[in-house]
Structure 1
Amino acid sequence: MNSVQGFSEDHRGLARIANEDDDVIDVMKIWNVLWQAKLYIAALVVIVCLVTAAVLVNLTPLYKATATLLIEKKTPQVLTFQQLYDPSASTSEYLQTQLALLKSRALAERVVKGLNLTTHPLFDPRQQPAPLVDVRGWWRNLRADIDEPVVAPDEAAIAKSVTHRVMQSMSVQVLDKSQLLAVHIEIPDPVLAAEMANAFAEGFIASQLDAYMSQSLSSADWMNSRLTELRDTLRSAESRLQAYRESEGLVDVDGVATISADVLSMTGNRMIDARRQRAEAESQYRQVQAMSAGGLQRLASVPAVLGHPLIQQFKAEEAKARAKVEELSRRYGDKHPNMISARTELAAATASLHAQVQQVVAGIERNYQLAQANEDSLSQSFTDNKEQIQEISRKEFRLRELQREVDSNRVLYETFMTRLKETAATSDINAANARVVDRALPPGIPSKPNKPLILLIAAVAATATGIVLTFVREGLNNTFRRTEEIETKLNIPVLSIIPLVPKKTRHQLSHMFERNEDRRFCEAIRNMRTGLVLADPDTPRQIILVTSSVPNEGKSTVANNLAFAVAHIERVLLIEADLRSPTLARNFDFPVGAPGLADLIAGTARFENCIRTIGKVSMLPAGTIPTNPQELLSSPRLVKILRTLQNRYQRIIIDSPPTQVVSDSMLLATLSSAVLYVIRAESTPVSLVMKGVTQLQDKAPIVGAVLNQIDLNKARKYGYYYENYGYLAAAEKITHQPSRI
């Protein structure tokens, strides 16, 4: 017994170690899951490949023709002067622009018109075969039924449809980092594909030429209109210049005749001299005016008068006459003739002096007036000359402004005239920015579909889908398939795993062990018996309750065959306590209406009349199906009956109803020594099993579980069946009781 306990503890230790490694990726486990589903995955791959092959056979092959174009640098603009804003783009953007032009609807319409594709059977919708499911035709018929006229497509609609299909069949590609563009046409007709590719390339070049020609003509028209405006502007400017000259009386064609700066300077110098002379004359005049009150004597003393030559002469004559009078007065008397004569001369000299003084004073006054008038005249002349120069400068500025306007308009007019002549002379020069490098040739092999590649992709996709579905099914499977799952989640040992028997022998399931028809099945029942015996060898659990979570898990089959297996070593009684759905009488061909447990509890039959013996197994069938099975099972008479039976049999095996259907198993568990829980592999949800085990644990100890109806072929791939089988075989050897078992 110690050996068995030690083995059991070692097994639990290994189970704990396995649980601790749950977070480690088990590659072998993954491989086993995939290997188990290999047939499903292979079937999926075969089906997908067959469907794909069938589709590929019916697909119309497409042929791709390619024409290569070289895109040159942009041609120069018609106008040569620099614009304020340059809209030119980079080379990459320029190539993208040309690529977009190749994909334009206008070019596609040009190709459709040039090749007359609207009547070609490949594109003409009127010549297309009717589809298998004509939804549009059905809709047209429906609309016709409601009296709505169906309008036949016109030429414009057909051309639009054909153009759309041509654009769909055409693609453009930039070759590497070059200026080469590849024009691809992919359609079922190889010859037409080459023609369309070449038509696209040539149509693109022709459209570029048309565009340049149109641009040149448009530029010429614009320059003509602009030239007319410039000519009118020039004439208007010349008219304004001529009108200004005529209005101002300007006849000098080189400029405006002006007063020189020397004349103005000379006038200024003369004005300065006149001002100085006037100042001198004014000074003398002021002196004379100041002395005029003192008489002629004082006037004669004025420096301007005194310095006059005539005054000095008359002063000298007066002084001579006065000196003569003074000399004669010393010799003669006043009445001496000489004295009278001398005085007469003195008086005459004085009178002459006074007269001359008056004349000089009058001359000083006249000089002052003349100097004042001269200064005023020169000042006025200087002012007039200055104003005249300023007016002439203004006229000069205006004249030059008008002249500049005429000159600029003339230059612009001549520039446009020259460029217009150049444009007119070069408008018919080919200026296409593209040329065909390689013309398209009819392809010899189809480009689509690539059948081997598509089949390979379909196979790979089907394989990946099968693997994903396998793991999804594995993850969504909420049932028990392995023994360690039961031990881990329910914390109860697995006594045996019972294989799934072939369909042809399933009607004899209750007799399998009795007749020893299936070696693997019988060996599994023996393993279950061994585990039950070794569970507590010192104090055997006499009443064993066999139950499950839901119907059809095989609990009755397990109970029946377990009874036959235990009967080889012990006296055993099989009680059918499933009073709601009994099967024992049907499986062993008991007489109809034979009494059983229900009759025994109700007291309507004796024990000897209820017991049936098959081989070494005593059986107590359910008997008459009662209307109140739960009340019968909860009756005290059942307790007394079981106590009586314990004295007659070493083992009593009770076949109980499922735990999640009715509560009869709860009542029976309180009367049992142990519970054997049957779980159908890959069928019963884990939650139901856990709920049933939890409900029974408080009523009676669960000695173990049985994993029933397991597919050994699947189990063998995981290795769990042999591991379990080896464990039980080792347990049998440890007990040293092979003869009993």
Structure 2
Amino acid sequence: MESLDKQGALEQLMQEDAIDLRLYWTTVMRHKWGILGFSIVLTVLSVLIVMSMTPVYRATATLLIEAKEANIVSIEEVYGIESGKSEYFETQFAILKSRKLAERVVDKLDLVNNADFNAPKEPLIDFDINQYLPESMQPEVKERTSDDIRRSAVDTLLAHLSIDPVVKTQLVKISYESENPSLAMLIANEFGESYIESNLEAKLDLSLKATSWLSTRLDTLRADLTAAEKVLQEYRETEQIIGDNGGINIVSQEMELVANKLVEARRDRLELESLYRQVQSIGKGNPERLELVPTVLQHSLVQRMKGELARVELKRSELAKRYGPKHPNMQSVNSEIANARDALNRQILSVVNGIETNYRVAQANERSLQQTLDGTKGNMQELNRKEYRLNELQQNVQAKQVLFETFLNRFNETSATGDLNTANARISDPAIMPRTPIKPKKKLIIVAVFIGCILFGVLFSLVLEALNNTVQTARDVENHLHETMLGLLPLLQKKRKEPYKSYRQFVEDPSSTYSESLRTIRTGVVLSALDNPHKTISVTSTIPGEGKTTLSTGLALAVGQMEKVLLLEADMRRPSIGRALGLNREAAGLSDVVAGSAKLEDAIQRFEAGNIDVLIAGKIPPNPSELLSSKRFGKLLEVLETKYDRIIIDTAPSQAVSDAMVLAQHVGAMIYVVKADSTTYQNARNGLKRLHEVKAPILGVVLNQVDVKRGAKYHSEEYGGYYDVYGYSSAKS
């Protein structure tokens, strides 16, 4: 069940949206001739203007820009920064659009004196307001200087120039628009040529400046290098430095040699010291034990003497076998043995003394070498300090030498190639003379103006419709007035000879649409209260001129065909029923009967053509509201209700006077008349509000003076029955 409700709500919403779209369409169609006429007029004016416009031609030259690095020491090279290609090309595009380049083209082509370039623009309207002003109010006219003219020419040139880079390429489109095609071609090509020349001149100027700067810098670097070399040489001479590294290699070799000698001397001293200690432990008084020392034993003289001693002892041994101890030979041999032993002992002591001497010499040699090594080490430290300072000075000289050579090489390259700079751009496709203008695009402008006017007209019509706050349709009655729609009356064509035609339309043409509309309203009134019919019905409106009297008369005539009806004219300020129906306007009326100056029977007039009785207003009283609110008037209505089946009262407008509010207390129903497409719903709402405040029995609203033809055309779906669009009425209607 809930889903069905949601579906119904959705269908209703879609239906309302569709109706809204149709309303927009009907609004546009209602104003279509005005929109079309407005569009045609403006389109014709645009055709005249476009045809009088001077055609403009565009010439385009294609420029190829190539990136090239500068051949000088740049800040990017020093710090290792590389500019991106995109930034480079963006810079070149900005140069192409620069004012300086435009000034160059103006001067080169002498555009200041070019008649085609500086042709004066004729105004569309030749009107000078200054000629009508007094001399004191006329603006001061300043003479234009040559700079002003040149500045104006440059502004004009830049205003008609366009620089368009081709995406993802190094190509640039240089376009210029002019009324002279040959001038457009000339300027487009000249812009490319001037850009190339300007770039070459800038490079040449940059090379000259770079050469000058490098030359100045070289002088400074040469002086710095000479000063550094002089300081280095003075330091060498002062410190008496020989060799590349301050003589430290010589000292190193010397120290290495002394160290080696010291090692050998220490080794010899240790060997001799061991032997010396051994000899000292034995003592010089014991030659026999000293003889056992390996060094002594291995001495050549000692070995020879020991051999001699052994030979003599062998000889004594042989003689002892033959002779006795006291034999002279034995004594001689013993004497030889004693001599040989003494000689051997003396030689052993000599060898031992030699060992001691060698030990002392080894000690002295070791001490001497150690002293020499210590002195060499001190020299080595001093030389290291000199070497550090020397290296510092040499590095300074080398750095200045490298920098000087770098600048010298770059200076030579810049000087040699400074006049051989190549252009970074070339014209890949020169501009040609255009044959067809690019603007004005006459057909496009005319079509655009026509479509724009149509759209503007549609928008304007919708705005007018949105701003239209008048009551036009039954939808407006229901949405804005919140009242029941009883019916509507079509608009009748007014004629000067028949000013009250609508009053008698029902009688004179009963089969017309107007008459049928009255019958529809009559049916609605009758059906609204079948069980308890409204005997007294009042008809009022918001303001005068909305047709309440016409509805009162027509409704009385329509009801008169079925019942006994009295038409009562209670609008005593502007009475018109008597004249419209051709009655006696001098006869007594409502005011006379209420005042008691005339009898009711004498005041009521018969309108035979419509089969109704009429009680006109009579003499206009000074205060009609008091008359209508009197008890006599109430009693009069009670009497009339007993004599008639229906009483139709024409009442004054509710917003103009308070008569309608007074009558609201005496009537059974009240019909509110609204003039279509004239009365605003704010005014109608205010009038209804006043009636509701006095609890008036409002039966519904009748929309009057509706344009039948337009309504049938634009609101046929909503009011088809009212307008008789189905051809149900007679052909005459």
Correspondences of 1:210-221 after superposition (within 5 Å): 210-221=201-212
Residue in structure 1 matching 2:489, options 469, 488, 497: 497
| 1:423 correspondence with 2:421 | no
Residue in structure 2 matching 1:713, options 709, 713, 725: 709
Map of 1:413 onto structure 2:
404
Map of 2:425 onto structure 1:
434
Correspondences of 1:202-281 after superposition (within 5 Å): 202-250=193-241, 252=243, 256=247, 258-259=249-250, 264-279=255-270
| 1:35 correspondence with 2:29 | yes
| 1:618 correspondence with 2:613 | yes
| 1:45 correspondence with 2:39 | yes
In 2, the alpha carbon distance for the partners of 1:217 and 1:670 equals 111
Secondary structure of the corresponding residue to residue 22 of structure 1:
helix
In 2, the alpha carbon distance for the partners of 1:243 and 1:158 equals 70
**Unmatched segments (≥5 aa) in structure 2:** 1-10, 313-324, 327-338
Map of 1:85 onto structure 2:
80
Map of 1:656 onto structure 2:
651
Query: CA 1:729–1:423 in 2, change beyond 3 Å: closer, same or farther?
Result: closer
In the alignment, is the contact (CA less than 8 A) between 1:500 and 1:708 conserved in 2? no
Deviation at 1:363, TM superposition (A): 7.4
In 1, the alpha carbon distance for the partners of 2:537 and 2:726 equals 20
Deviation at 1:223, TM superposition (A): 2.1
The residue identity in structure 2 corresponding to 1:470 is S
Correspondences of 1:63-462 after superposition (within 5 Å): 63-79=56-72, 83=77, 84-90=79-85, 92-121=86-115, 124=118, 132=126, 151-175=142-166, 177-250=168-241, 252=243, 256=247, 258-259=249-250, 264-279=255-270, 369-389=360-380, 391-392=382-383, 395=386, 399=390, 402-403=393-394, 405-407=396-398, 409-429=400-420, 431-462=422-453
In 1, the alpha carbon distance for the partners of 2:709 and 2:724 equals 17
Deviation at 1:624, TM superposition (A): 3.4
Map of 2:329 onto structure 1:
none
Query: CA 1:231–1:137 in 2, change beyond 3 Å: closer, same or farther?
Result: farther
Worse-matched range after superposition: 199-208 or 412-421:
412-421
In 2, the alpha carbon distance for the partners of 1:630 and 1:232 equals 123
Deviation at 1:708, TM superposition (A): 0.4
In 2, the alpha carbon distance for the partners of 1:157 and 1:727 equals 75
Residue in structure 1 matching 2:499, options 501, 507, 523: 507
In 2, the alpha carbon distance for the partners of 1:206 and 1:389 equals 68
Map of 2:674 onto structure 1:
679
Secondary structure of the corresponding residue to residue 16 of structure 2:
coil
Deviation at 1:169, TM superposition (A): 1.1
Count how many residue pairs are aligned between Structure 1 and Structure 2: 700
Deviation at 1:310, TM superposition (A): 11
Residue in structure 2 matching 1:552, options 537, 545, 548: 545
User: What are the Cα deviations for residues 513-541 of structure 1, in whole angstroms up to 9, with x where unaligned?
Assistant: 26637944344334433444454566543
| 1:670 correspondence with 2:665 | yes
Map of 2:722 onto structure 1:
724
Worse-matched range after superposition: 63-72 or 410-419:
410-419
Deviation at 1:586, TM superposition (A): 5.7
In 1, the alpha carbon distance for the partners of 2:207 and 2:221 equals 20
The residue identity in structure 2 corresponding to 1:450 is K
Deviation at 1:207, TM superposition (A): 1.2
Residue in structure 2 matching 1:529, options 518, 522, 532: 522
The residue identity in structure 2 corresponding to 1:413 is F
Deviation at 1:39, TM superposition (A): 1.3
Deviation at 1:246, TM superposition (A): 2.3
| 1:596 correspondence with 2:592 | no
In 1, the alpha carbon distance for the partners of 2:119 and 2:149 equals 7
Deviation at 1:452, TM superposition (A): 1.4
Deviation at 1:448, TM superposition (A): 1.7
Deviation at 1:482, TM superposition (A): 2.4
| Sequence identity percentage | 35
Deviation at 1:221, TM superposition (A): 1.9
In the alignment, is the contact (CA less than 8 A) between 2:290 and 2:348 conserved in 1? no
The residue identity in structure 2 corresponding to 1:468 is L
In the alignment, is the contact (CA less than 8 A) between 1:194 and 1:441 conserved in 2? yes
Deviation at 1:655, TM superposition (A): 0.7
Deviation at 1:168, TM superposition (A): 0.5
In 2, the alpha carbon distance for the partners of 1:62 and 1:655 equals 71
Deviation at 1:619, TM superposition (A): 2.6
Secondary structure of the corresponding residue to residue 83 of structure 2:
coil
Worse-matched range after superposition: 547-556 or 586-595:
586-595
**Unmatched segments (≥5 aa) in structure 1:** 1-16, 321-330, 333-347, 733-741
The residue identity in structure 1 corresponding to 2:47 is A
In the alignment, is the contact (CA less than 8 A) between 2:492 and 2:502 conserved in 1? no
In 2, the alpha carbon distance for the partners of 1:402 and 1:109 equals 56
Secondary structure of the corresponding residue to residue 427 of structure 2:
strand
In 2, the alpha carbon distance for the partners of 1:678 and 1:19 equals 32
In the alignment, is the contact (CA less than 8 A) between 2:59 and 2:181 conserved in 1? no
The residue identity in structure 2 corresponding to 1:507 is P
User: What are the Cα deviations for residues 602-641 of structure 1, in whole angstroms up to 9, with x where unaligned?
Assistant: 3344334543444444332333333433222221111110
TM-score, length-normalised on structure 1? Answer: 0.78
Secondary structure of the corresponding residue to residue 249 of structure 2:
coil
In the alignment, is the contact (CA less than 8 A) between 2:503 and 2:554 conserved in 1? yes
In the alignment, is the contact (CA less than 8 A) between 2:63 and 2:192 conserved in 1? no
Query: CA 1:440–1:588 in 2, change beyond 3 Å: closer, same or farther?
Result: same
In 2, the alpha carbon distance for the partners of 1:174 and 1:463 equals 38
The residue identity in structure 2 corresponding to 1:723 is G
In 2, the alpha carbon distance for the partners of 1:607 and 1:728 equals 46
User: What are the Cα deviations for residues 333-356 of structure 1, in whole angstroms up to 9, with x where unaligned?
Assistant: xxxxxxxxxxxxxxx999999999
Secondary structure of the corresponding residue to residue 479 of structure 1:
coil
Query: CA 1:93–1:461 in 2, change beyond 3 Å: closer, same or farther?
Result: farther
Deviation at 1:42, TM superposition (A): 1.0
TM-score, length-normalised on structure 2? Answer: 0.79
Deviation at 1:379, TM superposition (A): 0.2
In 2, the alpha carbon distance for the partners of 1:562 and 1:383 equals 150
Query: CA 1:371–1:85 in 2, change beyond 3 Å: closer, same or farther?
Result: closer
The residue identity in structure 2 corresponding to 1:422 is E
Worse-matched range after superposition: 398-407 or 190-199:
398-407
In the alignment, is the contact (CA less than 8 A) between 2:469 and 2:680 conserved in 1? yes
In 2, the alpha carbon distance for the partners of 1:130 and 1:723 equals 57
Query: CA 1:555–1:252 in 2, change beyond 3 Å: closer, same or farther?
Result: same
Deviation at 1:109, TM superposition (A): 0.8
In 2, the alpha carbon distance for the partners of 1:64 and 1:151 equals 33
In 1, the alpha carbon distance for the partners of 2:244 and 2:296 equals 62
